[in-house]
Structure 1
Amino acid sequence: MVRPSGKHGSARLVVICVSLLGLALIADFLWASSSSSSSSNSAFSSYHDLILPSNDKPKQPQPKKKEDASGRVLSATFADLPGPELKWEKMAASPVPRLDGAAVQIKNLLYVFAGYGTIDYVHSHVDIYNFTDNTWGGRFDMPKEMAHSHLGMVTDGRYIYVVTGQYGPQCRGPTAHTFVLDTETKQWRDMPPLPVPRYAPATQLWRGRLHVMGGSKENRYDPALEHWSLAVKDGKALEKEWRTEIPIPRGGPHRACIVADDRLYVIGGQEGDFMAKPGSPIFKCSRRNEVVYGNVYMLDDEMKWKELPPMPKPDSHIEFAWVFVNNSFVIVGGTTDKHPVTKKMVLNGEVFQFNLGTLKWSVIGKLPFRVKTTLVGYWNGWLYFTSGQKDKGPNDPAPKKVIGDVYRTKLKLSL
């Protein structure tokens, strides 16, 4: 047997040592990679709100459906809020259906103005509903120059002040005209026009002045912040021009505007609206993005806007959908945020209460269906609503049919 020389043995020993060292380094690298990967997966899994895309979607539990006394099935469709069921009675329907009409109540009479009959036809007259005998009557015409929808309107108990709005069907332009109606004589008078036309501005009488604020600008889309006022008394303007007031914090149309305890409140609304399609000879309405909100703003002696607790959910198209009862604002229906999946407009089916004593909102009832631009009144313990656009059915909150129906329910509010 031949033995290797000392030189060759040393070389072989070096090769063996280097090989062993390399194997150790590789094993260490593989162990470190495995440990690092395990650590990363553990950290990732700790973020419970982060969900990886998957084709296997877990099945969501189906909400139970309820049925009220009228047989309406209520589902947990997007944005429906829980609330007690109310017993609604269907009364004599309005002579015509209305969308985006206007209304004010004087004693036992509800004066209902203008509005769309269809997207291509607008009304230019007034109908009157008598709460005492629950009948319609006393129809009369509006001035030819008066807007047909998106009006600003308020009453002092005899005179009805009518401000600006959209003139004509589809998405035609606004007018700056203002008028006053003497409800005892049925006579109309002109008033000083607004500085610029507006769609659906918040409008109220406060401290001897007619206040007009917000709304949409002349293009029907951009929210306006301007706030003007005009001194008025007994159906007459005491000034020739509108006075500039403190701008509203957030602009836009379709808001409730209420005076209570010598304070001015502006509630809900939206930014953006349908616009006329460019080049359309009939000003055909074209959908644009809208942002609905539930902000509540108040003006008092300090003449600075203060923000109060917001509505339970965003709500718009409520400018004539309110009454003031037992130190509370009651708001009926409206629209809220679009459906997150279908992107369709979603109507509200709730009756909201804002208690001025507690500054708290609550859902005090459900409507017989979801509906926007309701015209609301209150008489002898009964809450009434008429007109507007109702939903497609219990399982679809998108708008469909324009109605003239009248409903009422007994209203009991906790103080």
Structure 2
Amino acid sequence: MVRQAGKQSSGTARLVLLCVGLLGIGLVADLFWASSSRFDPSLSISNNWSPRFSNATAFLLPSNSNQSHESPSNHKDANVEEKSKDKRVLSATYADLPAPELKWQKMAAAPVPRLDGAAIQIKNLLYVFAGYGTIDYVHSHVDIYNFTDNTWGGRFDMPKEMAHSHLGMVTDGRYIYVVTGQYGPQCRGPTAHTFVLDTETKKWRDMPPLPVPRYAPATQLWRGRLHVMGGSKENRHTPGLEHWSLAVKEGKAIEKEWRSEIPIPRGGPHRACVVFKDRLYVIGGQEGDFMAKPGSPIFKCSRRNEVVYSDVYMLDDEMKWKTLPPMPKPDSHIEFAWAIVNNSIVIVGGTTEKHPITKKMVLVGEVFQFNLDTLKWSVIGKLPYRVKTTLVGYWQGWLYFTSGQRDKGPTDPAPRKVIGEMWRTKLQLNS
């Protein structure tokens, strides 16, 4: 028994010595590794940029931008970036495009703030329709701005059955044709009702309903027919490609039914639609939109994926859609944010693609010009702030905009409050 105990103590001692030896070898190897030229303490995970963030930054900060990166201490999305394990600091906004400064004057504000409303200019009068006051309240009346004396007045009511937002609308210089749109607040369903307003008598008349309801379709008068294209389908999200037309004259429909026309190449709502020199243009827009939350008794808005695009299409004598040069950046919510100035289409504000990290909506703060002689785009000025669904007019050299939803501030392009402000700037363009 004694001999067996002695052998056991000897084996234990050898095991301890072996462990100590191995530990020593490990420490020496670690010392040599630390002193090796292959180890650089300045290296960090920030050098290993993921392709997803690399692409986003390239879009956020184009090479012609002078915008600098913000420091992490001032960055609202620093916690998001920390979670991403990427130490680079992404800009809090898509970089605004370089643009000349414009001198803006603040005019009398609209009687009520409006989001997703509509506007039609006839001579020196801007008729401003409907729209959200808040997400839970919609307007059902018309306000009029007089460009000659720069005052608001002449309020009157809309028909009870008429949509309150996302309207299609156009004028022939006296009559205003109103097509479909969303009826009620939040994300309620659309209506197929159509109306016409005689601006001289302030009287409304019904017209044949659209074949199916639509949200924010592109709408124009062209060659004696009322054209309605695209928009979102009844669920508010799915893009519609359908294109219908109805013969109209002096505020009356001279046909009983809408006629199917060549479908638009790309569907969706919130686009500018313009007729100039017998050609019809459809500009910008998006695919997708908010939808009503399933089972919600108030049709509460629920966020869905949206794709904003810069596409420009044209119809001419051949009645085939032609693709024209795209906008300087993707732009949506511009259906009443345009004016014809000389031989150009001028577009004010809008929304562009969402921020790649926060996924928040990014508003547009530039004024764009599309020269219809050269078919070239340019950025001709900056707005006082970024704004979407603003309502635009042009009178005697002055460009006006009113209402919509503005940004949170110079460094944050996300939407903040619905506004009724009116601004103007002197704008002269070469033909």
Give the TM interval when normalised to the shorter protein: 0.7 to 0.9
Residue 271 (str. 1) matches residue 287 (str. 2) = yes
RMSD over aligned CA atoms reads 1.9
Distance 1:410 1:256 in 2: 22
Match in the other structure for 1:288: 304
Cα pair 2:286 2:332 within 8 Å, conserved: yes
Distance 2:201 2:49 in 1: 68
Residue 262 (str. 1) matches residue 278 (str. 2) = yes
Cα distance, 1:77 vs structure 2:
3.4
Cα distance, 1:374 vs structure 2:
0.6
Q: Which residue identity is paired with 2:310? A: G
For 1:21-170, what aligned pairs fall within 5 Å after superposition?
52-53=48-49, 63=67, 77-170=93-186
Identify if the C-alpha distance between structure 1 residues 334 and 357 changes in structure 2 by more than 3 Å, giving closer, same or farther: same
> Equivalent of 2:344, from 313, 328, 336?
328
Q: Which residue identity is paired with 1:147? A: A
Q: Which residue identity is paired with 1:63? A: Q
Cα pair 2:93 2:362 within 8 Å, conserved: no
Distance 2:178 2:193 in 1: 9
Cα pair 2:67 2:95 within 8 Å, conserved: no
Cα pair 2:213 2:233 within 8 Å, conserved: yes
Cα distance, 1:63 vs structure 2:
3.2
Q: Deviations over 1:160-202 (max 9, x none)?
A: 0000000000000000000000000000000000000000000
Cα pair 2:349 2:388 within 8 Å, conserved: yes
Cα pair 2:92 2:412 within 8 Å, conserved: no
Identify if the C-alpha distance between structure 1 residues 293 and 53 changes in structure 2 by more than 3 Å, giving closer, same or farther: closer
Give SS of 2:299's match: coil
Cα pair 1:328 1:354 within 8 Å, conserved: yes
Match in the other structure for 1:375: 391
Give SS of 1:384's match: strand
Distance 2:140 2:278 in 1: 34
Match in the other structure for 2:206: 190
TM-score (norm 1): 0.83
Cα pair 1:154 1:204 within 8 Å, conserved: yes
Cα pair 2:104 2:423 within 8 Å, conserved: yes
Residue 308 (str. 1) matches residue 324 (str. 2) = yes
Cα pair 1:63 1:76 within 8 Å, conserved: no
Cα distance, 1:79 vs structure 2:
3.7
5+ residue gaps, structure 2, are 1-46, 55-60, 70-90
Identity %: 87
Distance 1:359 1:251 in 2: 22
Question: Where does structure 1 differ by over 2 angstroms across 4 or more consecutive aligned residues?
Answer: 51-54, 60-65
Give SS of 1:77's match: coil
Cα distance, 1:289 vs structure 2:
0.2
Match in the other structure for 2:77: none
Distance 1:315 1:247 in 2: 21
Match in the other structure for 2:374: 358
Identify if the C-alpha distance between structure 1 residues 394 and 296 changes in structure 2 by more than 3 Å, giving closer, same or farther: same
> Equivalent of 2:248, from 218, 227, 232?
232
Q: Which residue identity is paired with 1:99? A: L
